[in-house]
Amino acid sequence: MVYQALDVKIQSRKHILFIPDLLGFKKQNDLFNYLRKKPGYKEYLEKYDQQELHRGDLEVALNHLMVNEMEKMMHFMDGSYREFFRLMLKRYELHDLQLILRALVTGEDTQNVSKYFIHSKKYTKIDFARLVKVNSLAEFTKILKGTIYYDTLKTMEEEDIYNREWHFEMKVSATYSNLLYKKVESFEEDDIEVAKRILGLNIDRLNIEWIYRAKKYYNISNEEILVYSQPKGYKLSYSRLKKLIYTTDVEQFKKLANKYMNDNLFEAGDNLLEIKLDKLFYVSLNEKQNKNGIGRVMGYMYKLELILEDITAVAEGLRYNISPEEIKKYLVI
């Protein structure tokens, strides 16, 4: 693939990634007003009234930005590259499907959730208008026949949605991790290596977080944890993954995880594990070897995702009057 056009595009969008002095805002409204004027953000925030912007709204708006950025980049791609990013967009589709599912079991009006939808309208093949009207999991499943969600859905029962809240997300994520990996195979030679490495790094971070959470909070067997883990990690091969999962207690797990990831993951405390992992991921994205060819595009996308998470974290911190020093702990970048 020819990267000149894409590189220029990314170069011109880089300002989105850069927010000077994110911690300098005194009040939540200052941050909103700043974003409302910042090019790249303002299209998504203008429509909200500043007095009534909720956390959900900001997240939805930022996710729209993310999806839209990805769509924009896709204009400059073709063939398997385009399909690859199409698959990446499915993550947002999954998010929306989960919203509907959750509304379905809690008995909320499923039509109400549509305002939180973030999927790419341009690339989705799912009829969301029909989906929000369903009354049961069976109907939901029927509409999704022929999509990658169907295999998982057809074996699910309504109780699984709250008893195994992770089931749907994890199974589908694993399915499309596999698909992404397969799609990468048809990239150009130089890109295959970079793309696989970045995908693998991302999977590592997700897996460690998942195993830790599963071990600590969920009452599920090691066999299940293994099944739900995502395949094709970079540092965590299958055998390492298995060793990590079959550790006898959390302490041992931490030790082994630190060893495999070559870092002290738990230095800042257990509740900051996710941030720590994100930080590691961010650092790897900026390594020279991951910035070639397709790596630049993937890096831009993942970095954008991380900065948007930071913005949400700051907004949330300001809402509850948390000091900048404290907020800083929750920031990735």
Partner 1 sequence: MAIEKMVMLNLVASQLDEQRVLEHLILSGKVHEPAEMYDNNFAIHEYDAMLHQESLHIEFSKDKILSQLSKMSNQLERIMDGMNITPEINYEAIKDNYDLTQAQSDLTDMVSQYQGCIDQYRDIEKNQKDLIRLQTIARSIKKEHIDLEQLRNLSNFGFQIGVLSYDHKVELKRNYENISAIVTKIGELPDEQEDIYLVLYPTKLKVETKQLLKSVNWQRIRIPQEFLGDAKYIDGALQKRIDMLDTQMSGISNIIFNNLATTQDTCNKIYTRLELERHVSELRSKVQHGSNVFVIRGWIPEKDKAYMEEVIAGITDKYVITYKEPQEDLPPTLLKNNWLFKPFELIVKMYGLPSYNEVDPTPFLALSICLTFGIMFGDIGQGFVYFLAGLFINKKNEIAGGILTRLGACSMVFGVVYGSLFGLEQHQLHWLPSLIGGSPLDVENIMPILIASVVVGVVLLSISYFLGIANSIKNRDIVHGIFGKHGVVSYIFYLSLIFTLVALTGVIPVPYYVFAAILVISLLIIVFQEAIINLIQGNRPIISGEHLIESGFEGLETLLAALSNAISFIRIGAFALNHAGLFMAFLIMSEMTSSIILKLLVLFLGNVLILSLEGLIVFIQCLRLQYYEMFNKYFGGDGYRYDPIILGHNSELV
Binding site for partner 1 (CB under 8 A): 151-152, 154-155, 160, 164, 167, 171, 178, 220-224, 226-228, 238, 242, 246
**Cα dihedral 4→332→280→167 (10° resolution):** -100
Whose Cβ is closer to partner 1: residue 4's or residue 219's? 219
Distance of CA 227 to the CA centre of its chain: 20
Whose Cβ is closer to partner 1: residue 50's or residue 155's? 155
Q: Report in angstroms the alpha-carbon separations of 183 from 57, 80, 82, 85, 293.
A: 34, 7, 10, 10, 16
Whose Cβ is closer to partner 1: residue 207's or residue 290's? 207
Selection from 156, 136, 153, 135 nearest residue 144 by Cα:
153
Whose Cβ is closer to partner 1: residue 164's or residue 276's? 164
- What is the C-alpha separation between 310 and 329, in angstroms, rounded? 10
Show the tokens assigned to 280. Answer: 């590691």
Show the tokens assigned to 80. Answer: 């398997």
**What minimum distance in Å lies between the beta carbon of 100 and partner 1?**
20
**What minimum distance in Å lies between the beta carbon of 221 and partner 1?**
6
Whose Cβ is closer to partner 1: residue 3's or residue 246's? 246
Selection from 206, 231, 228 nearest residue 218 by Cα:
228
Burial (CB count within 10 angstroms: exposed 0-12, middle 13-18, buried 19+), residue 7: middle
| Residues 329, 275 contacting (CB under 8 angstroms) | yes
**What minimum distance in Å lies between the beta carbon of 160 and partner 1?**
7
Whose Cβ is closer to partner 1: residue 16's or residue 144's? 144
**What minimum distance in Å lies between the beta carbon of 191 and partner 1?**
26
DSSP 8-state symbol, 148: T
- Helix (H) or strand (E) run with residue 91 in it: helix 79-106
**What minimum distance in Å lies between the beta carbon of 296 and partner 1?**
32
**What minimum distance in Å lies between the beta carbon of 83 and partner 1?**
20
Q: How many CA atoms lie within 13 A of 75 on its CB side?
A: 9
Whose Cβ is closer to partner 1: residue 130's or residue 154's? 154
**What minimum distance in Å lies between the beta carbon of 171 and partner 1?**
6
